[in-house]
Chains A and B, each alone.
Chain A
Amino acid sequence: MSSEKIDVRYVAELARIALTDEEVDRFGEQLGDLLAHVNALAELDTNAVPATAQVIESRNVTREDSVRPGLEREVVLAQAPSRQGAFFRVPRIIAE
């Protein structure tokens, strides 16, 4: 398990959260503390242990391919922070 310092700035970029320098320092310290606690997991021998993604073992929960009523467009667009006609509007997208 890693003990290296978290690159908070990089992680915040991935998470799309702008951080101030002060927040970078504070969160860096707090997350470092938490990781120090979390690193205790390295003590467990988990080599032969399967991972649990879901605690209840259900399978194949699907639905029939039949149409259900959706939402009225005005109800949907009334919530939009910015709209133009029938569309949601966002600032320009810089291709990545």
Chain B
Amino acid sequence: MKILCIYGCGGTGREIADLSHRIGNGKRSFLSMIILPAEKLMKLMFIHLKKLLNSLRRTIWSLSLLLANPL
């Protein structure tokens, strides 16, 4: 078993992972590992942080509404 590190998680990365597995059907067997580039990771983290903050803001807003107008 060989480990193949693929730097890049976009279309090209996934294409290469697929190709390496198809080659693996023959003589070599591959375990592909896609490495997430740093800038992509930052971007993802930022998006998720934004999502997290957004949901937190919504929760606080609904809570404040609930507290202001109790049932």
A-B interaction: no
Interface positions of B (Cβ within 8 A of A): none
